[in-house]
Amino acid sequence: MDPISDMLTRIRNAVLVKKDVVMIPFSRIKFEIAKIMEAEKFIASTEVLEKERQLKVVLKYDVDGSPAVRNLKRVSKPGRRVYASKMDLPKVLGGIGVAIISTSQGLFTASEAKKRGLGGEVLCEIY
């Protein structure tokens, strides 16, 4: 099973039932994805619970109750990897959304990877 898809599905399902917190099995890459989502204001916060080896993600909702995360889409999958050069990095909804790219220097948003002149594997799109 794909652990990144599992993470995105857990967040997507928690948003659909209006949960405040979702627990995800910890891995470094999932933690980095959650940190990017937090920096881009799609989730409220994230923390690692060392004892349980879990990642605690606090979801973010607008004042009217609508979720900050409208859609999570896994782009590169284990059976079909999707790569983009620094010139072909995707724009999600004309810049409203975020694409997370795995580069040789770590995980970045597509705009940050473009500033650094890096291409890589397109992990997911969030809007």
CATH topology assigned to domain 3-59 = Ribosomal Protein S8; Chain: A, domain 1 (3.30.1370)
C-beta of residue 125 within 8 angstroms of C-beta of residue 99: yes
Residues in CB range of 1: below 8 A, 6 or more apart: none
Q: What are the sequence ranges of the domains in the chain?
A: 3-59, 72-126
Domain 72-126 grouped into CATH 3.30.1490.10:
yes
d(CA 83, CA 110): 12
Per residue of the chain (127 residues), give pLDDT as tens.
899 999 999 999 999 999 999 999 999 999 999 999 999 999 999 999 999 999 999 999 999 989 999 999 999 999 999 999 999 999 998 878 999 999 999 999 999 999 999 999 999 999 9
Fold match, 3-59 / 72-126: no
- Strands 54-59, 83-84: pairing is unpaired
Phi and psi (nearest 5°) for 16? -65, -35
H or E stretch covering 110? helix 110-116
